[in-house]
């Protein structure tokens, strides 16, 4: 499968002031792939990007701890499909000699990838299908601006 390596540009808010939606922007080359996420996942990704720790473990922290305690490592995440507006992803974990691919939401995979410094891969045909130029994004504000 042909993939592109993506980096997280950040967590942003898009839309009108009355209806803002969180979006994670993934970047590869000069193109950006927006992935809309839930508010809780947006905050989890945002905190991890800023290296801030919650006083108690969030769900994504728990998953990372569980993988570590079981002797596993997150190899990478793969965002590989889009069906009727819903993205699909896989969390690829190595435990001992076993290589496991777990179906997961892209937002959860991204939150885990940030915490484990794991690579983010996107199926090239999917990235090409949904990527936009940064100039095409309108009404985008950083999550920090939104939280103030």
How does pLDDT run across 23-46, given as a tens digit for each residue?
A: 899 999 888 999 999 999 999 999
Q: Where are the alpha helices (DSSP H) in 70-141?
A: 106-116, 124-130
Q: Which of the four pLDDT bands, split at 50, 70 and 90, describes residue 141?
A: low
Span 72-87, average pLDDT:
96
Nearest to 90 by CA among 126, 54, 44, 138: 126
Q: What is the pTM of this model?
A: 0.91
26 close to 9: Cβ distance less than 8 angstroms: yes
**Architecture field, domain 3-147:** Roll (3.10)
**When comparing pLDDT for 31 and 77, which is higher?**
77
- Separation between Cα atoms, residue 15 and residue 143, nearest integer Å: 12
Does pLDDT of 81 surpass 80?
yes
């Amino acid at each position: 499968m042909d993939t592109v390596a993506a980096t997280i540009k950040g967590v942003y808010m898009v839309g009108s002031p009355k209806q803002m939606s969180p979006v994670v922007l993934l970047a590869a080359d000069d193109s950006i792939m927006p992935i809309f996420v839930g508010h809780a996942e947006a905050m989890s990704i945002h905190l991890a990007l800023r290296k801030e720790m919650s006083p108690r473990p969030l769900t994504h922290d728990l998953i990372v701890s569980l993988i570590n305690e079981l002797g596993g490592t997150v190899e990478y995440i793969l965002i590989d499909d889009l069906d009727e507006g819903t993205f699909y992803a896989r969390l690829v974990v190595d435990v001992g000699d076993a290589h496991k691919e777990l179906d997961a939401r892209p937002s959860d995979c991204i939150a885990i990838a940030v915490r484990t410094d794991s690579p983010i891969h996107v199926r090239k045909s999917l990235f090409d299908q949904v990527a936009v130029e940064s100039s095409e994004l309108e009404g985008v504000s950083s999550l920090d601006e939104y939280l103030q």
